[in-house]
Amino acid sequence: MQGIEILLRNVIISIIILILLKINKKQQNKKGHIIGVLFFIFIMNVIFGLTGISPISGFHTDIRIDEISYIPVVSTLGMVKEVFNTAVVENIPRNETILYLGANIFGNILMFGPLGLLLPLLWKYFRKFSKTVLFGFLVSFTIEFSQLFLARGTDIDDLILNTIGTMLGYLTFVVFHKLFPKFTEKFTVEHGVEKLSWNILPVICVIIPYLVTVILGFYDRAILLAR
């Protein structure tokens, strides 16, 4: 059922974005760019799905300080210690323990890598390192801020790792663009202030998946509580 919901969510959001692409007469639509934008939307849905911004598991309106980890590295070190202690008690193989830790730590980096790669690939505005990294930082910050009101903790380490992932994604684009410049240009459009719909399109590609995820979360929670 969850897979069907994710598919439906991607279809709805993709239709909305395609309409925005269609009504923009000032830009010549490239097929590569449209495909890239749809993949960007898919990535945002994956990010919001994995980070758990849906209120289906519960939410609250007060900010709980004890659920905020605002000192860098502390929560990560605590997690490492707890995982190794659990592994010793439950006799879990060391390689499985390391694999689990790697998935948790490097997963936060890898998750934002595509974001750092796709932004400069799709829009020339993001060909500047600082603009791409700032965008990735703000997306991650939005997620962590949302988790203040959900049944999850807010962790500055996640923010740092997500931003590092955005940086690495951007650097991957730089290398790829130097090796295959003609190929990357097939996906790119100008991103000027005078072309309003394109100026806000990257933001829309984040906001709409975010809102759809949250709204569907409230809907699913209402259904669960009604049973």
Q: Is residue 80 part of a domain?
A: no
- E strand or H helix that includes residue 159: helix 156-179
**CB of 135 within 8 A of CB of 202?**
yes
* Most confident region among 90-94, 133-137, 149-153 by mean pLDDT: 133-137
Average pLDDT over residues 189-217: 74
- Considering its fold, how many domains does the chain have in total? 1
Among the listed residues 201, 177, 183, the one whose alpha carbon sits nearest the alpha carbon of residue 127: 177
**CB of 190 within 8 A of CB of 24?**
no
Among the listed residues 190, 141, 184, the one whose alpha carbon sits nearest the alpha carbon of residue 163: 141
Domain region containing 115: 2-61+107-226
Report pLDDT for 51: 86
Q: Is residue 101 part of a domain?
A: no
Q: What is the pLDDT confidence band of residue 12, given thresholds at 50, 70 and 90?
A: confident
Q: What is the pLDDT confidence band of residue 184, given thresholds at 50, 70 and 90?
A: very high
pTM of the model: 0.84
Structure tokens at 88: 């010793």
Q: Counting runs of H as helices and runs of E as strands, what totals does the chain give? A: 8, 2
Q: Is residue 26 part of a domain?
A: yes
Report pLDDT for 10: 67
DSSP 8-state code for residue 30: P
Q: Is residue 88 part of a domain?
A: no
Q: What is the rounded CA–CA span in Å between residue 16 and residue 205?
A: 10
Q: Is residue 168 part of a domain?
A: yes
Q: Which residue has the higher pLDDT, 134 or 27?
A: 134
Report pLDDT for 166: 98
Q: Is residue 75 part of a domain?
A: no
Q: What is the pLDDT confidence band of residue 196, given thresholds at 50, 70 and 90?
A: very low
Label the pairing between strands 154-155 and 68-69.
parallel
Per mean pLDDT, which range of 1-15, 115-129, 155-169, 212-226 is the poorest? 1-15
End-to-end alpha carbon distance in the chain = 17
- pLDDT of 214 higher than 60: yes
Report pLDDT for 217: 80
Q: C-alpha distances in angstroms, 29 versus 13, 21, 101, 197?
A: 18, 7, 43, 13
pLDDT in tens, 107-143: 999 999 999 999 999 999 899 999 999 999 999 999 9
Q: Is residue 79 part of a domain?
A: no
The CB density around residue 194, as the number of other CB atoms within 10 Å, is 8
Q: What is the pLDDT confidence band of residue 28, given thresholds at 50, 70 and 90?
A: low
Please name every residue paired with 215 in a beta bridge, in sequence order, or none if there are none.
Answer: none
Mean pLDDT of the chain: 82
Report pLDDT for 180: 95
Q: Is residue 76 part of a domain?
A: no
Q: Which residues contact 139 (CB under 8 A, 6 or more apart)?
A: 47, 112, 115, 162, 206
Average pLDDT over residues 70-84: 82
Cα 177 to chain centroid distance, Å, stands at 23
